[in-house]
Structure 1
């Protein structure tokens, strides 16, 4: 049995949201069925959310095809609500993922191989 999935943390400071996602293993469509309603519910409560996101992809191995599509749809749905997205990882394809994400998301996206620098950038 291989561990996989997404965990989520959401904090609100005034009109700013801090969303942290930790991805482990190879993500599945079922993972997104569980996490998407939580993200939707958290973001719909604020008229004009300003969301800063930390994606901890250090243990991410990738996606099943349908899960990759779910991830893409989630980005399109909430892409205008994200102010900054920091992706933390240690793989070249994760860095490329951050660059491709800039095509679909209005906020700034940056890849980091140091979580401290990622948090510092989000808080600037």
Structure 2
């Protein structure tokens, strides 16, 4: 089993899932952490609030993980109340624009120096 590159942060609570990502996200990250946690939140609360802190050590997705992300997002496009990203690289901004046209909830991008604002926003 490879290293898990996604971690649930302790600020997660109720329908709020806050994750930290490092390296390249893998299929295992999605199947072992991301998808089970979000599905549990959606079952219990109906809608999820997701905040992903990419930081400066995030290097994207492996192909299978990218497919996992797209498939989950499309299947659950109406199950998000809010979705935010902290420290997304410039190349990722186009993905957020595409997601905004598909996902029913509010989507917001925060610069890496806006971590506190992002945590406040996801909790509003």
Is TM > 0.5 for Structure 1 vs Structure 2? Answer: yes
User: Structure 1's 92 and 101: CA in aligned 2 closer, same or farther, altered over 3 A?
Assistant: same
Q: Deviations over 1:25-58 (max 9, x none)?
A: 1111122121222321232123xx2322211111
2:37 equivalent in structure 1: 38
More strand by share: 1
User: Structure 1's 81 and 90: CA in aligned 2 closer, same or farther, altered over 3 A?
Assistant: closer
Q: Shift of the alpha carbon at 1:90?
A: 4.8
Q: How does 1:1-124 map to 2 (within 5 A)?
A: 5-9=5-9, 10-12=12-14, 17-35=15-33, 36-46=35-45, 49-58=46-55, 59-113=57-111, 114-124=114-124
- Judge conservation of contact 1:94–1:111 (CA < 8 Å) in 2: no
How many residues are paired up?
117
Residue ranges of structure 1 left out of the alignment (5+ in a row)? none
User: Structure 1's 68 and 18: CA in aligned 2 closer, same or farther, altered over 3 A?
Assistant: same
The TM-score, its normalising length taken from structure 1, stands at 0.80
Residue ranges of structure 2 left out of the alignment (5+ in a row)? none
More helix by share: 2
Q: Distance in 2 between matches of 1:116 and 1:50?
A: 23
